[in-house]
Structure 1
């Protein structure tokens, strides 16, 4: 029987997940599909979940604006998803729904790929932002043993995140001494890379453009940079494993995604 999975969000036409998973499915020779679903509203997303509970879907990745609804609908929630306050992966089995967040694993896979010299254990890390992406970054980096500080324009949101996840509020000294700075903001951060250590790693969760102004400034300074595309592909790995029961085959999905985006490596 064909395994059906997909990604749900609104808007959804820009999603690269069908391309990534489709290439893996084809290379693995699986009897499976990975589709893009664009529910118009919460009711439409609830109907999609009902399909999964009825056995018509094996799993869903979830993007904005349905991540919180996905978490609330689940019968079982991973500790990581609970800490993040949202879920981006749902797995259906025997009418039940399990929720998880794979963004943190994607972040760690991206770091290991593009900044292999960085050891997060004991490292001082600054996360820029206080939304869902920032939460996923804080949870993953703290689990890896990093000392995480949060910097956000709205201090109250940063304080809430810090209290709930056991991080601290970033100071200027944290930035100057950071081994890693992760941008989880939707806008370019106002960071003077000239004051950073020569071995600071910069990571941006945004993948379009591939080289954001934040990363471009870091590269001009000679710093190691990690792009959001590596994280996007990294977070897809555990979803593929959960949906289709095997690890992704060794196919260069990054090259295909870069071509789709009109970017160069």
Structure 2
């Protein structure tokens, strides 16, 4: 195991309170730009950095021990591949994060223990509310493509929002079935698992389509999905934000569908963590913030 570079984090913080993003790789993360914007906007003497942490429990455990023993450390965000591994290494995990089965935000509590939270579902719903205010969760079925970590948070959020029917479609059917078993509502609402070969047919009558797969991301294959069966009033959301306007979003927009890109989910999911680490109320996602992060993405 290569030890994480804690000394660089401490040097950058220079005695200030700090949080950071943990991943492997992590150099692509825009979280430092996001939280740095809010720190500057609120004139808070704090720091938000990034830390490359190898996969496997040993390096992640060492990182959590570093947070516990360092007075200025307030917590961290987690990205791939650590969101699931963290569950067994933290002192406390909120019921929401436990239900989702993944942690993306770690907060050091007053007694020095670490609490794992998941704010991805919150960020997803807030992004929809901001980008597609006319969307009514209870009005029509929702289709979710993918069965990874992002899908877990999205599905849980849609169940809680009152979607009458969820249709899960994944390239590996068993993974979608496993999520279906985990998240099937207990109030009579329907959760359906469709084969990947039926992904276009699954769009009929839907009010929301969410792509949580990596298909369409820079460096990945395009998402091959015919949209003819999707009502033009349905909202199309892609959690991918590199590129900001994926091929799916461009095609949906061209046929008149309201669209929501992945950037707003990233921005909104950061709000609760920032407030927990640096105090005060949750910061706002403003046009200036979005412009700053989008500009860094080259959009």
Indicate the TM-score class for this superposition, using the shorter chain for normalisation.
over 0.9
- Among 128, 149, 157, the residue aligned to 1:132: 149
CA contact (8 A) 1:3 1:32 kept: yes
| Alpha-carbon distance between aligned partners in 2 of 1:153 and 1:255, rounded to the nearest angstrom | 34
Residue 52 (structure 1) aligned with residue 52 (structure 2): no
CA contact (8 A) 1:70 1:90 kept: no
CA contact (8 A) 1:126 1:150 kept: yes
Find the residue that maps to 1:19 and give its secondary structure.
Answer: helix
| Alpha-carbon distance between aligned partners in 1 of 2:95 and 2:231, rounded to the nearest angstrom | 34
Q: Which has the higher contact order (CA 8 A, sep 6+)?
A: 1
CA contact (8 A) 1:27 1:249 kept: no
Residue 99 (structure 1) aligned with residue 135 (structure 2): no
Query: How many equivalent pairs are there?
Result: 263
**Matching of residues 70-85 of structure 1 within 5 Å:** 70-85=86-101
| Alpha-carbon distance between aligned partners in 2 of 1:250 and 1:192, rounded to the nearest angstrom | 33
After TM superposition, give the deviation of residue 89 of structure 1 in Å. 0.5
After the TM superposition, which of the residue ranges 55-64 and 212-221 deviates more from structure 2?
55-64
Question: Partner residue of 1:211?
Answer: 245
- Among 177, 184, 191, the residue aligned to 2:205: 177
Question: Partner residue of 1:243?
Answer: 277
Question: Partner residue of 1:162?
Answer: 180
Find the residue that maps to 1:45 and give its secondary structure.
Answer: helix
CA contact (8 A) 2:203 2:230 kept: yes
For normalisation by structure 2, the TM-score amounts to 0.84
Give unpaired runs (5+ residues) of structure 2.
Answer: 1-14, 185-190, 216-221
After TM superposition, give the deviation of residue 173 of structure 1 in Å. 5.6
For normalisation by structure 1, the TM-score amounts to 0.94
CA RMSD between the two structures: 1.6
Question: Partner residue of 1:151?
Answer: 169
